[in-house]
Amino acid sequence: MTTVIYIGTAGWSLPRHARDAFPAAGSNLASYARVFNCTEINSTFRKSHRASTYTRWAQSVPEDFRFSVKLPKVITHERGLAGAESAIARFVDEIGPLHHKLGCLLLQLPPGLAFDEAIADSFLAALRVAYSGPVAVEPRHASWAQPAAEALLRRYHCDAVWADPVVIRLAPRKTPGLAYFRLHGHPHVYSSSYSAAFIRDMAGRLSAAAASSDVWCVFDNTAQGAAVTNAISLQRSLSS
């Protein structure tokens, strides 16, 4: 089985200190996509985008580039996954113009959302009616670290995010699928840069996961521009 390792950042902002690593021509996204092969669209958490915006983004990147798209807060934080069928359908329709460049959906749950098997089951069933592709789930309440939650994710072919810093750690899927790593920065979330030793360790984790799955590694420590330099360092570590 041929697998792909996707490395990128949350968004495609290019900090001044890293500009020399990117081509000058074209939009920020076009320049970014000449270096990285994926990105995470987080703006969808707070607002909708026009179809023309998704079309423009898809046309700005190479054929093998992929987008991960975060589900809206109205689904995850306001509704708490309950009664979200129509919101799911609208969202999946909205991002449709990404076509085959839509690589994954990201479902990041609020820290206060405890596992409720009936609600989660109903939500994932509705999600799978609307969307059949890869789904990465990042629960942040300790109640999700139980066999019933892990079994439910497996049943709907969803994959638990491996996040740093660790909030809870769910078991990885036992079948080939998706391995999704989200690196938020440590010790200061969203701003700290990762050490060379951490980057080397991540390269080993990604290589091991790629034996059976497509792998995504998204750096979310964007506040001080560390995400881009960390992602470039990880690319180099994997190729050395």
Q: For position 177, which CATH number holds?
A: 3.20.20.410
What's the pLDDT at 150? 92
Give how many domains the chain has, as a whole number: 1
pLDDT at 200 (0 to 100)? 97
Beta bridge partners of 105: 69, 135
Which residues are paired to 6 by β-bridges?
216
Q: Per residue of the chain (240 residues), what is the pLDDT tens digit?
A: 689 999 999 999 999 999 999 998 889 999 999 999 999 999 999 999 999 999 999 999 999 999 999 999 999 999 999 999 999 999 999 999 999 999 999 999 999 999 999 999 999 999 999 999 999 999 999 999 999 999 999 999 999 999 999 887 776 555 567 999 999 999 999 999 999 999 999 999 999 999 989 999 999 999 999 999 999 999 999 998
Q: Which residue has the tokens 């479902």?
A: 107
- d(Cα 77, Cα 103) in Å, to the nearest integer? 23
What confidence score (pLDDT) does residue 177 get? 77
Q: What's the predicted TM-score (pTM) here?
A: 0.95
Full residue range of the structural domain in which residue 183 is found: 5-239
**What local confidence, expressed as pLDDT, does residue 141 receive?**
96
What single-letter amino acid sits at 67? F
The whole-number pLDDT of residue 36 equals 98
pLDDT at 24: 84
pLDDT at 226: 97
**Given phi > 0 = left and psi -120 to 50 = alpha, else beta, which region is 14?**
beta
- Quote the tokens at residue 47: 């607002």
Burial state string for 52-85 with b = 16 or more CB within 10 A and e = fewer than 16? eebeebbebbeeebbbbbbbbeebbbeebbeebe
Identify the pLDDT of residue 2. 86
- d(CA 199, CA 202) in angstroms, rounded, equals 5
- The bridge status of strand 66-70 relative to strand 102-108 is parallel
Rounded to whole angstroms, the Cα distance separating 124 from 140 reads: 17
